Structure 1
Amino acid sequence: MCELLGMSANVPTDICFSFTGLIQRGGKTGPHKDGWGIAFYEGKGCRLFHDPNPSVDSKVAELLQKYPIKSNIVISHIRKANRGKVELKNTHPFARELWGSYWTFAHNGQLKGIKKEPLKEFRPVGTTDSEHAFCRLLSELKRKFKDRPKDERRLISEIEKLLSILGKKGVSNVLLSDSKYLYAFCSTKLAYITRHAPFGKARLIDADMTVDFRKHTGPKDIVTVLATQPLTKNETWHDLKAGEFQVWKEGRLFYQKP
């Protein structure tokens, strides 16, 4: 399987602390050593970094631990390959353009029979069932809506429906973004924590690292972090239920089902 990491914040925020914890699980404290990737949104722009090497040994990951890219939305993924070879083209998150926005998708799980489903405008580059599922999802959105719906609830409802369908094909934990929202779907395992004033200290589980958020945040900052498993040992994380769908905007929970 794989592990996911996501962030939604109301101010541009770096994810160096959480990312440092996650990448230890890519070959040191966890077996997810078959590549990794991360997407940073800056407005409608998106920076993407991928590496097929274990994240714990990656020079690119080492750079990103020290280079505090500030973003409102982040999606990251460390891979334990089950379908598709260990290659750069198979590293998540995957990215495509739809309605003039970059969409990114990271997935944890296996989807039975997904590759038999036809695709139209969007095609996978790699060989994973995850990328095929992403292309299928975007194809269905484009078929349903010629342009992005002005009523955001219609779009959110359709995404929830499509991710729920994926969830019935096997294990399917998903982080998805369109530069405006961070969408999350839990099939088996996903947790979140929302940090806001008064901020305190946090200690990583997988590395000897502590951060005092009071030194790095303002009184109005709101930052939500999602992960396959909690990354800190002294904070209370909240588990999503099986089948739960969430939409985050600027660090706040915008929509939830059920």
Structure 2
Amino acid sequence: MTGSDVSPSFRLAYVPGVTPAKWVRIWNERRSDVPLTLHTVSAAQAPDVLREGGADAGFVRLPIDRTALSAIPLYTETTVVVVPKDHVVAAVDEVSFDDLADEIVFHPLDDVLEWERRPGLPANERPATTEDAVELVAAGVGVLVVPQSLARLHHRKDLTYRPVHDAPESRVALSWPEDATTDLVEDFIGIVRGRTVNSTRGRTQQQPAPKGKQADAKAGAQRKPGTGRSGSGSGSGKTGTGKPARGGGTARTKSGSGKPPAKRGKPRRRS
């Protein structure tokens, strides 16, 4: 699809933990004519929101069902374990599954990690959300393994986190409906991929106006002969055509030597 289907605004969905502020700022600088609206969706809901037209594009967590969706992987997050600040884990730089073997590890219903085997001991019940699980960790009931961005999102002063080096990782991607790759979507893809405003890929952007010396040089190159700044009356002694001005400059003799004529001496008196 092309720019004929441009909507009055660009709708961007994003899952918890993703911070789209940088890309939104660049969008507002480059496409101030098209407002961008943000929509927070859960990781599980994000693919369906895009397929059903609820957003033009969105930041999602992989893997997703890519039926009718395009996706560009962006980055991979570190996985951490969230624990109370006085927990023994807080004394080390990183941990492994073996270090959590005797811990109750919560597995919330909105967990975004793909597990082959989960560490530690299972809780009696699964918390409904990651936020609920964080509350239980603060109560000293167990620990929680999540992507680092979610640990930061639900940060509490009485909790800390450490990397888990052998845990699965979460990948974040930009996704959009493959049959709705509009000009606005292409513009946002370019922003996320770091293309400059003058990039030849994607849509053509307006060139910034020349400034300073570049503007002066451009203006000087376009002036017609005889109308420049060094025209007659500027004190150069030349007309706009480059010929010596009449009455200007140093007086010259007919010989063109540039020296004034020699003075004649007094006539001798005859004796």
Shorter-chain-normalised TM-score: which range? under 0.3
TM-score (norm 1): 0.25
The structure whose residues are more often strand, as a share, is 1
TM-score (norm 2): 0.24
